[in-house]
Chain A
Amino acid sequence: MRTMKTFITKLMLVAVSALVAGNIACAQEKIAPKLRLSYIKHMDGAQEIKARAYSKKGKEFEPCMGVTIGFYKDADEEQLYKKQEVDHMGETTVLLSDADANAFKDSTGQYHFYAKIEKNIKYKSAEADLAVMNATISAEFKQENDSTKVLKATLMVYDAATKKMIPGASMPLKCGVKRALCLLPVGKDLNNTNELGQIELSFPNDIPGDKDGNLIVVVKLDEDDNYGTVQYEKSVKWGVPLLHSDNPLASRSLIGSRNNAPWFMVVVISSILIAIWGYLCYIVSGLYKISKLGHSGT
């Protein structure tokens, strides 16, 4: 009897501890994140490495929030360049000057970036690397007569064999005008370069610009496997000047602020108020007179 009882107790103990252990194991199961790197070269200065940390949950991707990403110059992760925490979208961007970028160049003339998500309570670590070669875009803006505007862009790419920049032939370039939330395409969605690495587009005349007619024209090689993203930007006076209709809120109106009430309303309402309350003050002064008459009478 007694042994039976201890046996059952032991059995229960084992069962409970197994359960607890299982729970702990479950609680400690970390999410394996994914890391994606992309490279963007702005022709007028900065280069960016954008890192995006995400995990797959069911069918959807979820940003990994709160993780730190280290950027390294070598595969062994010995030469740290920078560590940054991601934002709420699981993204972070490192800005590089040309000199900074050169430090990532390897012997073949490629830029090679290494990055790693540092593990934390929730996430396991993850690594990614990206190799890109140098590419450049330049553009000419030709206005032939009053109405015909032609945009000619040239793509040059680094050739590892000759270690020289050569024209990037048959490559898709995006071209457009920079807008608040997007790029307004000019020409086709993608325009393939010719053997000289060039595209030529006639530019529409009716695109609204700023008040001086300036447009920011963008020519872009988008997310290319070998060269990353290369973006050329230039402000050109090719737009229709925006006739700045004066701020509608500056005029006096029913929907204006308190300081912008229509004049007739201010005048009418204040004169009614002044007239009536003035009269009421006069009445109250009459009461004062009554009181004075009363006290002088006694």
Chain B
Amino acid sequence: MNTLTSINELTQDLQPRKFGLRGQLWTTLLVLIVLNGLVSYYFQLRDGLSVTAMSNYVSWGIYISNFVFFVAISLVGSLISAILKLSNAKWSIPLTRIAEIIAVANIMFAGLIIIVDMGRPDRILNLFIYGRIQSPIVWDVLVVSTYLAISILLLYIPLLPDLALLRDKMKDIPKWQHQLYKILSLGWTGSEAQYKILHKSVNGLAIVIIPVALGIHTVTSWLFASTLRGGWNSTNFGPYFVAGAFVVGAAGVISLMYIARRYYKLERYLTDDIFDKMGKLLVMLSLVYTYFTINEYLTPAFKMMEGERSLIQDLFVGGFAPMFWGVQIFGVLIPVLVMLFKKGRKPLPLFIVANMVIVGAWFKRYLIVIPTLFHPYLPAIKQNGVPSAIHYFPTWNEWSITIASLAGSMLVITILFRYLPFISMWEIAEEQHLEPDPINPMVEKSKNL
């Protein structure tokens, strides 16, 4: 990292900036996609889930696989801001907030997409009025809301000094924005007592979030593993889901930090070295994930028990084979091979393989949820085929709502990037031992995006 000389330089680099044309177009595009999804959801509310391709056999579709994807990617918050932080990996400091923003945006949409999947969203309060603690869904509701709360706190508390900085130094901003920073900064003065509470809280939350994060994805895996169905009836599912979640989360951070570095010109903060380290981390996570994947398929495929056999054949050589092998090759194998080389861990190639990992991970969730429903015990399946009654390909309505939810989470990330410093200013200042420079007020950088 090139040496920074003052806090002012730091804040000038990292303060929120107005969007340029590209940023505005991007935001508009996301808003349009979300609106399109809302229209589709209106049709779904009016006509019921019959607007989807789901049926009595394939009773869960891409809403659920998308939910699993959201839960998975949100797990990165705990990886970066807890595990790396507690293991004292200083290089990850600039990534902490990016990770938390991803976590908050995605866990929010995990909650929303599960409501979209409900046949009677108007009865959502029944979960609280009649909730049965025996049901894994209730556990999931509890753990998702807990994780959301912790993620918000882990995003918000370390923001306080930065918000105070923006409150004090950003003058060229609309009054409401200033007011927002003022309220949100809670009268932060940077006193020793305040810092003490802050450090204590963040360290405590970093510990608490680890079991909750493991919990959120393990419980989500139990929604499947607690049923009596081939492919889901697995004891490996909890760790398998967690391993897969870390992979897609790390890829998400890489993708987002590349975009931030490129468009905000933050080469000084998001250095090649960080990309290199994230690349190595992603390789390691992918290999762990591969280990679990092999565990998940090898022994059932070796035994070919009734109930698993037709599913495994469908995945390996049947109708789902192209997607299954596509995910393994383009979502895991090629990215790992690329990242094994130092040149492959340079920002641009890393960005490309990270996106391959993310897309692969989305389709992997599809492969977890849908093929199993193609292979129920009844109707009994002859010659390992799929009965004609069982079919599923998402309708336009499902696609547009699902894509809207993905766009929605990106929109939340975009908005948070627009109004919050997405790299923690005070933590970098602390690490670089920069002294506050109260005399010169900050000048807004003239160059917009």
Which A residues fall within an 8 A CB radius of B?
254-258, 261-262, 265-266, 269, 273, 276-277, 279-280, 283-284, 286-287, 289-291, 293-295, 297-298
- Of the candidates A254, A265, A290, the one whose C-beta lies within 8 Å of that of B197 is A290
- CB–CB B149/A280 < 8 A: yes
- CB–CB A261/B149 < 8 A: no
- CB–CB B146/A294 < 8 A: no
* Contact flag A287-B208 (CB < 8 Å), given A258-B133, A261-B132: no
A255 to B160, CA, bound (A): 47
* Contact flag A286-B200 (CB < 8 Å), given A273-B142, A294-B194: yes
Q: Does B368 contact A (CB under 8 A)?
A: no
A-B contacts, 14 listed (Cβ < 8 Å):
A261-B132, A269-B133, A269-B139, A276-B146, A283-B153, A283-B157, A286-B197, A290-B186, A290-B197, A293-B187, A293-B189, A293-B194, A294-B187, A297-B191
A293 to B153, CA, bound (A): 19
Q: Does B134 contact A (CB under 8 A)?
A: yes
- CB–CB B133/A279 < 8 A: no
Q: Does B384 contact A (CB under 8 A)?
A: no
* Contact flag A258-B187 (CB < 8 Å), given A283-B157, A286-B201: no
Q: Does B113 contact A (CB under 8 A)?
A: no
A289: B residues at CB distance < 8 A: 197
A258: B residues at CB distance < 8 A: 130-133
Q: Which 3 A-B pairs have the closest CB atoms?
A: A294-B187, A291-B186, A258-B132
Q: Does B21 contact A (CB under 8 A)?
A: no
Q: Tell me how far the C-beta of B218 lies from the nearest C-beta in chain A, rounded to whole angstroms.
A: 13
A277: B residues at CB distance < 8 A: 146, 149
Q: Does B204 contact A (CB under 8 A)?
A: yes
- CB–CB B197/A294 < 8 A: no
Q: Does B417 contact A (CB under 8 A)?
A: no
| Residues 178 to 204 of chain B near chain A (Cβ within 8 Å) | 185-189, 191, 193-194, 197-198, 200-201, 204
Besides A256-B134, A269-B142, 14 new A-B residue pairs in contact (Cβ under 8 A), listed by A number: A255-B134, A261-B133, A273-B142, A284-B153, A286-B200, A287-B157, A289-B197, A290-B186, A290-B197, A291-B187, A293-B187, A293-B193, A294-B188, A298-B187
Count of CB-CB pairs between chains A and B under 8 Å: 73
A293: B residues at CB distance < 8 A: 187, 189, 191, 193-194, 197
Q: Tell me how far the C-beta of A186 lies from the nearest C-beta in chain B, rounded to whole angstroms.
A: 40
A257: B residues at CB distance < 8 A: 132
* Contact flag A280-B132 (CB < 8 Å), given A291-B186, A293-B193, A294-B194: no
Contact with A along B410-429 (1 / 0, CB 8 A): 00000000000000000000
Q: Does B212 contact A (CB under 8 A)?
A: yes
Which B residues fall within an 8 A CB radius of A?
130-134, 139, 142, 146, 149-150, 153, 157, 160, 185-189, 191, 193-194, 197-198, 200-201, 204-205, 208, 212
- Of the candidates A256, A286, A287, A297, the one whose C-beta lies within 8 Å of that of B189 is A297
- CB–CB A276/B212 < 8 A: yes
A276: B residues at CB distance < 8 A: 146, 150, 208, 212
- CB–CB B134/A254 < 8 A: yes
A255 to B198, CA, bound (A): 45
A261 to B134, CA, bound (A): 6
Q: Tell me how far the C-beta of A73 lies from the nearest C-beta in chain B, rounded to whole angstroms.
A: 57
- Nearest CB to that of B164 among chain A residues? A294
- CB–CB B133/A266 < 8 A: yes
A279: B residues at CB distance < 8 A: 204, 208
A284 to B208, CA, bound (A): 14
B204: A residues at CB distance < 8 A: 279, 283
Q: Tell me how far the C-beta of B213 lies from the nearest C-beta in chain A, rounded to whole angstroms.
A: 12
A298 to B187, CA, bound (A): 8
- Nearest CB to that of A260 among chain B residues? B134
Q: Tell me how far the C-beta of B353 lies from the nearest C-beta in chain A, rounded to whole angstroms.
A: 36
- Nearest CB to that of A295 among chain B residues? B187
- Of the candidates B150, B189, B208, the one whose C-beta lies within 8 Å of that of A298 is B189
* Contact flag A290-B134 (CB < 8 Å), given A276-B208, A279-B208: no
- CB–CB A265/B134 < 8 A: yes
Q: Tell me how far the C-beta of B166 lies from the nearest C-beta in chain A, rounded to whole angstroms.
A: 15
- CB–CB B187/A280 < 8 A: no
A287: B residues at CB distance < 8 A: 157, 186, 201
B157: A residues at CB distance < 8 A: 283, 287
- CB–CB A265/B193 < 8 A: no
- CB–CB B198/A290 < 8 A: yes
- CB–CB A262/B134 < 8 A: yes
A265: B residues at CB distance < 8 A: 133-134
- Nearest CB to that of A275 among chain B residues? B208
- Nearest CB to that of B188 among chain A residues? A294
Q: Tell me how far the C-beta of B49 lies from the nearest C-beta in chain A, rounded to whole angstroms.
A: 26
